[in-house]
A and B are shown apart, each in its own frame.
Chain A
C-alpha cells in the first residue's frame, strides 16, 4: 500500500483513540470534581486532567484561570488547543478524507457523522450548555465505538487494518501511561489506610477514565487498593487498556504486517522487546524502581516505537 496511506491510517486511528480518551477523562473528572472537598473533590483535579492530556502548556499560555468551565471548554472545543477533541476529530476526518479508499463506508460514515454533529454545534452562537457538552462527549464515545467496530467488522485483514490497529494501540498505551504518571502519587503502596481512604475517589476516577471501574472488581474481587489499580493498568493482560495488553496487540499486528511483507524489521524487534520486559515485570519491582520512573521510561519507549515504524515503512 502507499506509504502516505499507511501514515494517514496510523494517525487517523491515533486521533480517534485520543478523542475517546479525552471524552472519558473529562467525564471522570467532572464526577470527581463534583464531590465535596473532603472526598477529594478539588479544582486541582483539573490541573491533573490538563497534565494527563498533554495540554497543560497550551492551556497555561492561554492565560485563563484553571477551573472546570475553562478546562473542559479548552479540552473539548478550543480550536487553539491542538489536542482538543474538536481538533482530533477535525484531523481524523481530514486523514479519513485523504484515504477514503482505504476505509470502509461504515468507518467513514461514523467519522463524518460525528464531524457534522460537531459543526452543527459550533455553528450556533454562544458557548455550548452543560447538556450539549455532555451529549457531545457521549457522541464522541459512541463514534469511537462504531468506528472501531466498523474497522473490526468490515475491514479487509491487510496492511490497512494492521497499520490502523498499531496506531490505535500505541495511542492507547500512551494515554494509559500518562494517566498513571499524573496520578502516580496516589497509587503508591504506603498510602493504604484500612477502611477507606481520602484517595478512594481518586482511584475510582482513574478507573472510570479508562472504563475499568467494573472490570477492577471482576479481576480482583476485593476492595479498591491503589497498587492493584496500577497492576490492572500495567500488567493485567485481560484488561484491554493495560500497557501489556496494548503491547500484545501491537506485537501481533506488527507481526502480521511483517509476514505479509516478508520482512521483520527494527519496529518488530523493538515492540517485542518492550512486550518481553512487561511480561517479566512484577509490581514489586515497579514500585521499588519508582512508578514515576517506570512510566516515564515506558512513554519514551513507546514514542521510540512510533519513530521506528515511520522509518521502516517510509512515512
Chain B
C-alpha cells in the first residue's frame, strides 16, 4: 500500500505502537489529569498575551493584533532523525546559494539546459539589477526557512524553500521559553537539545558577511517595515536578542554610497542590514518609487560594496514554487551529490502533459500559485467546493505557467491538547538554516506549525494555524527507555 495514503501519527506510529521518541511523553500524558492540561493551556495563553507576542492579520478589522494559537504538547524528533534532516537542509541551502550566484553570474546551469532560461529570467522575483553583480562571499541566502513535511516513519519531504525573509523564528524561541516555564517536569524527563543560542548564531552569521573592507567591529542593524507589519513583534524580538538597532527606512540615509543611521549622537555608519522588508521596498530610486519604507540610494551603496544586505537582493529567484521542482537537479548540478531530502512530487502546469493530468485530477490535488505565499491563492482539491474547483480550472487554463500542483499528502499528525482532550492534527516543520562566510548552522528543531482544525492541512498562521514547541532528544535516552520497557 502507498504509505502516502495512510495517516501517519508521529506519536502512535503507523501500527499504533507508541514511537520511541514519544514514549515518555505518552506515559506522562496517561498519568496527567485533564484539569492540569487545561490549566496549563490557560497559563500559556496568558503568558503569550502578556508578553505581547501577537501578529497582525491582513484584512481582519477587529482583531488587528491576534495571538497565534499555541499548543502545549511538544513535537518530538529523535537525534538520529534530526541529523539526517540537518545534513539535507545544509545541502539544500548550499545549492540555493550556488544557484543564485550562477544565475546572476555566468548562468552555467542555464547553458547546460538543466533549468529553462526563460523560467529564470522571466521570473518576477529575478532581479535584473543584480545581473553581473557579486555579493560578499557569494552568499545570497543567509537565513533560510525550509518547510518540511513527513508522511511516514522514513523520510522527510521539502514542501517549500523560503529564501527571502522567512519569519517564525521568534515563535520557535518563545515557544521554548513558555514550555520551560509551564512544564519543567517534562524537561527534566527528556534531554531536549537547546535552541536558545539561535540569536548568537545569527549574529555570528551576520558579522561574518560584513563587507570585507570593514576592518573594525561591523555595525549591524535589523530593518523593519514598521510596527504595522504582521511580523513586527518578531523584528523587535530579534533586534533585542541580537543587541542591534531596530531601524525603519526613515532612520537610514545614504551619502556618497555609504549607509548611515540617524542617532542622537549624529550619523553612524551601517555595515550589515538584516532586512525584513521585501526587495521592492528597499530603495525607491531603484524599485518602487512610491515606497515610503525604503532608503533612497541604498542599492548604490550595496553595489559599491559598502553594505551587506541579508538576505541578498534577488534571492527570491530561487525559492519560487516553479523553481522548486528543479531543486533535485540543481543540487546534483552544483554539488555532484544526490539530494538528501526529497521534493514532494510536483506537476509543472507549464508543461502540457502535466497540465492535462492536473485538469483531470483537480479533486485530488493541491494547486498552488507559483508566486503566492502564506497559504493565499491555493486550492486544496479534496476540501474544495465545486465552484472553487471550477474557478481554479479557469485560472489554470488562462495562465498555466503560474501554477504547480502536488498530490494531497497525508501529512503526519501530532497530538495536540484541546479543551475536549488530546487529538491528532496535521503538522509541518520550518527549521531555520544560517549560512555565513564561516559555515552553515542549524539550531536543532524549528517551528512546528499545526492545522488547529480537524482534518485541515493548512498550517499557515494567516489562515488560523497554530504552533508548538519542537524537541530534538537524544536517541541514547530513547534506547534506554525502550530497554526499560522491554
Task: Tell me which of B49-57, B206-214, B392-400 binds A.
Answer: B49-57
- Across the interface, which residues of B come within 8 angstroms of A112, CB to CB? 50, 52
The answer, yes or no, to whether B10 is at the interface (CB within 8 Å) is: no
Q: A315 to B51, alpha carbons, bound, how many Å?
A: 28
B117-125, B246-254, B346-354, B370-378 - the one binding chain A: B246-254
Q: By the criterion CB–CB under 8 Å, are B264 and A97 in contact? A: no
Contact A1 B264 (CB under 8 A): yes
B73 within 8 A of A: no
Also in contact, A1 and B263, with CB within 8 A (given A94-B227, A101-B246): yes
> Which of B251, B261, B263 has most A Cβ within 10 Å?
B263
Tell yes or no: B461 within 8 A of A by CB.
no
- Complexed CA–CA distance, A116 and B48 (Å): 13
Write the chain A residue with the least CB distance to B261.
A2
Pick the contact of B263: A2, A109, A116, A257 (CB < 8 A): A2
Among the 9-residue stretches B34-42, B232-240, B277-285, B335-343, the one with 4 or more Cβ atoms under 8 Å from chain A is B232-240
Q: How far is the CA of A257 from the CA of B51 in the complex (A)?
A: 30
**Residues A115-172 near B (CB distance < 8 A):** 116, 159, 163
B264 contacts A109, C-beta separation under 8 Å: no
By a CB distance below 8 angstroms, the chain B residues around A3 are: 251, 262-264
Q: Do B240 and A108 touch (CB < 8 A)?
A: no
Residue among A4, A109, A159, A261 making CB contact with B262, cutoff 8 Å: A4
Decide yes or no whether A6 CB sits under 8 A from chain B.
yes
Write out the residue numbers on chain A whose beta carbons fall within 8 Å of the beta carbon of B247.
Answer: 2
Distance in Å: Cβ of B53 to nearest Cβ of chain A = 11
Q: Are A109 and B227 in contact (CB under 8 A)?
A: no
Q: In whole angstroms, what is the CA distance A257 to B264 when docked?
A: 10
In the bound assembly, the distance between CA atoms of A105 and B226 in angstroms comes to 20
Across the interface, A4 reaches (CB within 8 A) one of B232, B248, B266, namely B248
Cross-chain contact of A113 among B50, B240, B263, B264 (Cβ < 8 A): B50
For residue B239, which residue of chain A has the nearest CB?
A: A101
- A161 and B264 CA atoms in complex are apart in Å by 13
Q: Closest A residue to B262 by CB, please name it.
A: A3
Q: Which residue of B lies closest to A262 (CB)?
A: B265
Q: Is the CB of B236 within 8 A of A101?
A: yes
Q: Are A100 and B236 in contact (CB under 8 A)?
A: yes
In whole angstroms, how far apart are the Cα atoms of A6 and B239 in the complex?
16
- Tell me, yes or no, whether B200 is within 8 Å of chain A by CB: no
Let me know if B360 is at the binding interface, CB within 8 A.
Answer: no
Complexed CA–CA distance, A163 and B49 (Å):
28
Q: Which chain B residue lies CB-closest to A105? A: B51
Counting contact residues on chain B (CB < 8 A from A), the size range is 20 to 34
> B236 and A109: CB pair below 8 A?
no
Beta-carbon contacts under 8 Å, B51-90 to A? 51-52
Task: Identify the closest chain A residue to B245 (Cβ).
Answer: A2
A98 contacts the other chain (Cβ, under 8 Å)? yes
Residues of A within 8 A of B246 (CB): 100-101
**Given the complex of chains A and B, what is the CA–CA distance between A108 and B49 in angstroms?**
12
* Shortest beta-carbon distance from A311 to chain B in Å: 12
Q: Contact: B251 with A97, CB < 8 Å? A: no
Instruction: Determine if A101 and B51 form an interchain contact, defined as CB atoms under 8 angstroms apart.
Output: no
- Candidates A2, A5, A109, A163; contact of B51 at CB < 8 Å: A109
Q: Is B264 a contact partner of A314 (Cβ separation < 8 A)?
A: yes
Residues of B within 8 A of A5 (CB): 245
Is A261's CB under 8 angstroms from B50's CB? no
Interface residues of B in 256-296 (CB under 8 A from A): 261-266
- Residue A313 at the chain B interface, CB threshold 8 Å: yes
Tell me the bound Cα distance from A113 to B250 in angstroms.
30
The CA-CA distance from A108 to B247 in the complex, in Å, is 19
Q: Which residue of chain B has its CB nearest to the CB of A108?
A: B52
Chain B's closest residue to A6 (CB) is B264
Question: Of residues 284 to 315 in A, which have CB atoms within 8 Å of B's CB atoms?
Answer: 313-314
Q: Which of A231-245 contact B (CB under 8 A)?
A: none
Q: Which residues of A contact B237 (CB under 8 A)?
A: 100
Residues of A contacting B239 with CB < 8 Å?
A: 101
In the bound assembly, the distance between CA atoms of A249 and B247 in angstroms comes to: 30
Quick check: B240 and A100 within 8 Å, CB to CB?
yes
| Residues from 1 to 48 in A contacting B, C-beta threshold 8 Å | 1-6
Complex CA–CA separation, A109 to B49 (angstroms): 10
**What per-residue 1/0 map shows which CB atoms of A86-106 lie under 8 Å from chain B?**
000000001001101100010
- Cβ–Cβ < 8 Å partners of A98 in chain B: 226-227
Question: Which residue on B lies nearest to A160, using beta carbons?
Answer: B264
Chain A residue, CB-CB nearest to B266: A314
Min distance, Cβ B55 to any Cβ of chain A, angstroms? 13
**Nearest chain-A residue to B49 (Cβ)?**
A116
Taking CB atoms, residues of chain B closer than 8 Å to A101 are 236, 239-240, 245-246
**Alpha-carbon distance A250/B233, docked complex (angstroms):** 32
**Chain A contacts of B262 at CB under 8 A?**
2-4, 314
- CA–CA, A100 to B235, complex, Å? 10
Complex CA gap A133/B87 in Å reads 60
Which residue of A is nearest B52, CB measured?
A112
Residues of B within 8 A of A1 (CB): 245, 263-264
A100 partner residues in chain B, CB cutoff 8 A: 52, 233, 236-237, 240, 246
A97 in contact with B232 given A3-B251, A261-B265 (CB within 8 Å): yes
Q: How far is B65's CA from A97's CA once the two chains are assembled, in angstroms?
A: 12
Once the chains are docked, how many angstroms separate the CA of A171 from the CA of B246?
Answer: 27
* A1–B50 alpha-carbon span in the complex (Å): 27
Least distance between B263 CB and chain A CB atoms (Å): 6
A36 to B416, CA, bound (A): 63
B232 cross-chain contacts in A, Cβ below 8 A = 97
Question: For B51, what are the chain A residues with a Cβ–Cβ distance below 8 Å?
Answer: 105, 109
Q: Least Cβ distance of B408 to chain A in Å?
A: 40
Which residues does chain A contribute within 8 Å of B227, judged by CB atoms? 94, 97-98
Residues of A within 8 A of B261 (CB): 2
Which residues of chain B are within 8 angstroms of A313 by Cβ–Cβ distance? 264
Most chain B CB within 10 A, of A98, A101, A116, is at A101
Complex A-B: 11 CB contacts under 8 Å? A2-B251, A3-B263, A98-B227, A100-B236, A101-B240, A105-B51, A112-B52, A257-B264, A313-B264, A314-B262, A314-B264
Closest 8 CB pairs of A and B: A100-B236, A101-B240, A313-B264, A3-B262, A101-B239, A98-B227, A6-B264, A261-B265
A2-B251, A97-B236, A109-B50 given; 7 more Cβ-contact pairs under 8 Å: A1-B264, A3-B251, A97-B232, A100-B52, A112-B52, A257-B264, A261-B264
